[in-house]
Amino acid sequence: MPHQCTTCGRTFPDGSKEMLSGCPDCGGNKFQFKPAGETIDADETTDAGETTDAGETTDAGETTDESAGSVTDTPDSESPRPDSQPPEAQTPNAQAQESKTPDAQKTDSEHIRDRTQEDIAQASARSDVVSPDELDQASRDVESDSPTGSDPDSSGDPEGPRPDIDDLRDELNEQFESIRIVSPGKYELNLMELYDRQEYIISLQEDGRYVIEMPDAWGISDE
Amino acid sequence: MGLLTNLKDSISRVTDGLFAADEPKRIGIYGPPNAGKTTLANRIARDWTGDAVGPESHIPHETRRARRKENVEIERNGRKVTIDIVDTPGVTTKVDYKEFLDHDMEKDDAIRRSREATEGVAEAMHWLREDVDGVIYVLDSTTDPFTQVNTMLIGIIESQDLPALILANKTDLPGSDVQQIANAFPQHETIPLSALEGENMDEVYTKIAEYFG
Ligand SMILES: Nc1nc2c(ncn2[C@@H]2O[C@H](COP(=O)(O)OP(=O)(O)OP(=O)(O)O)[C@@H](O)[C@H]2O)c(=O)[nH]1
Ligand SMILES: [Mg+2]
């Protein structure tokens, strides 16, 4: 399923296992699910920045501004820039060898170091990922907006036409079989699936998006 | 899975080993919605730390994020047991906003609550897999314990070999049937209590110390 790192914007192709251990580029562990209707035409190895900054990251962009902001403070400068040479870890080759070469191991352990700093930001930003307002907005959209066809190419307008909501819901249901969205506000949960998944969802949105978070060392909010 | 995960795992195993003696066990309070998990968590926390954990409500799915109270020191028979308690959202297989409409809630709010409740279940299941060392399973003893949710959760807990206490709550209510719960899970010890009234808390603390100390 197409996902995008909410920190650096890198995208991951359908079913990518890479993100399970955190974003290889920035170590971030939050990913926004991007329904296929409005995506990124599949050239996953290109730098995410270019394709996604175009406009369809609207929700993710807005809600993750804060965490993205704090994460940029990280001294490490591996975060990708659309106009710069892609870092080594991003080449298709490196991806393929991801978990096999000693090189990859070195890269990974570096990420651990980065993560310790970032996790703090991630953890503190967690509750900010989707604001109640936005959840509100999402449910209103579902009720009021009966979408009129979709135009995947229309970009730049955050409130632009959305892909058909039923299609999106079906797609989400198929890909994320642990939670079935029966209709707005109605859910069926597959507890075994939820239990078996390494990542867990932190926010569902009715338009077929959700933001998931990978496990990290930082616990539950204990305010 | 990626190397990172493996590395992280082994690192945390190492640190777990190093700090095992000091680290309090993390005890998850699990159960279906409205069983009285938060009421129990609050009572434990108030009894031993003076603070509360979170809001209680007769409306199901009041708890929609896991909440933790750390370093709760329980003293039993001259021995001190320190635990972290995690109050989790009630686990269910179906969430429907319509059930909240009966509680005088606007449709918008009900839909939002059901979405948060669903996220809460996902979170609860996640913590069960990743991050608890023991479970206090709370059931409302006035309701039928033979449910899919209970069977599945108890099954998971057993498959993980987690120490588990089953509490039959709300014994102050006329319809309370503790024996039915004991029958449903004969492989576990069932302790009756009223978290609301504070009945039989002594035995609960003794068992907590025994199981999780
Ligand atoms: N009579 C009686 N009521 C209780 C008892 N324990 C809890 N309750 C009530 O049951 C309702 C639910 O209690 P909570 O503690 O919020 O239940 P919960 O298991 O945390 O519920 P969720 O957070 O929704 O999963 C509240 O109205 C409590 O006052 C008890 O021992 N006796
Ligand atoms: Mg509760």
Q: What is the pLDDT of residues A46-65, one digit of tens each?
A: 333 333 333 333 333 333 33
H or E element that contains B117 = helix B107-130
Query: How far, in whole angstroms, is CA B5 from its chain's centroid?
Result: 27
How far is A46 from B105, CA to CA, in rounded Å? 47
Q: Residues with beta carbon inside 6 Å of ligand 1? A: B 31, 33-39, 56-58, 60-63, 89-90, 169-170, 172-173, 194-196
Work out the pLDDT band at A166, boundaries 50, 70, 90: low
> In chain B, what are the domain boundaries?
25-212
Checking if the pLDDT of A165 tops 80, the result is no
Cβ contact A186–B95 (<8 Å)? yes
Chosen from B67, B83, B119 to mutate, greatest number of chain A CBs within 10 A: B119
Distance in Å, CA A169 to ligand 2 centroid: 29
For this complex, say whether ipTM is above 0.95: no
Checking if the pLDDT of A122 tops 80, the result is no
Checking if the pLDDT of B162 tops 90, the result is yes
% of chain A beyond a pLDDT of 70: 18
> Which residue is closest in CA terms to ligand 1's atom 7?
B36
Task: List the single range of A8-12, A143-147, B48-52, B55-59 with lowest mean pLDDT.
Answer: A143-147
Work out the pLDDT band at B78, boundaries 50, 70, 90: confident
How far is A12 from A19, CA to CA, in rounded Å? 7
How far is A60 from B44, CA to CA, in rounded Å? 39
* Residue of B34, B95, B200 with the most ligand 1 atoms within 8 Å of its CB, for mutation: B34
Q: Tell me, which fold does domain B25-212 have in CATH?
A: Rossmann fold (3.40.50)
What's the pLDDT at A8? 82
Q: What is the pLDDT of residues B4-22, one digit of tens each?
A: 444 455 545 444 444 445 6
* B47 to chain A, closest Cα gap in Å: 18
Read off the pTM: 0.61
How far is B33 from B31, CA to CA, in rounded Å? 7
**CA B31 vs CA A136, B135, B137, B165: distances in Å:** 28, 10, 5, 11
* Chain A residues close to B127, C-beta within 8 Å: 220
What's the pLDDT at B178? 97
Q: Are B213 and B207 in contact (CB under 8 A)?
A: no
Chosen from A25, A196, A200 to mutate, greatest number of chain B CBs within 10 A: A200
Checking if the pLDDT of A223 tops 90, the result is no
How far is A28 from A20, CA to CA, in rounded Å? 11
Handedness of CA A161, A166, A170, A173 (dihedral sign): positive
Task: List the single range of A74-83, A174-183, B89-98 with lowest mean pLDDT.
Answer: A74-83
If you average pLDDT over residues A36-50, what whole number do you get? 39
A105, A206, A220: residue with CB nearest B68: A220
End-to-end CA distance of chain B: 34
* Chain A residues close to B125, C-beta within 8 Å: 191, 194-195, 200
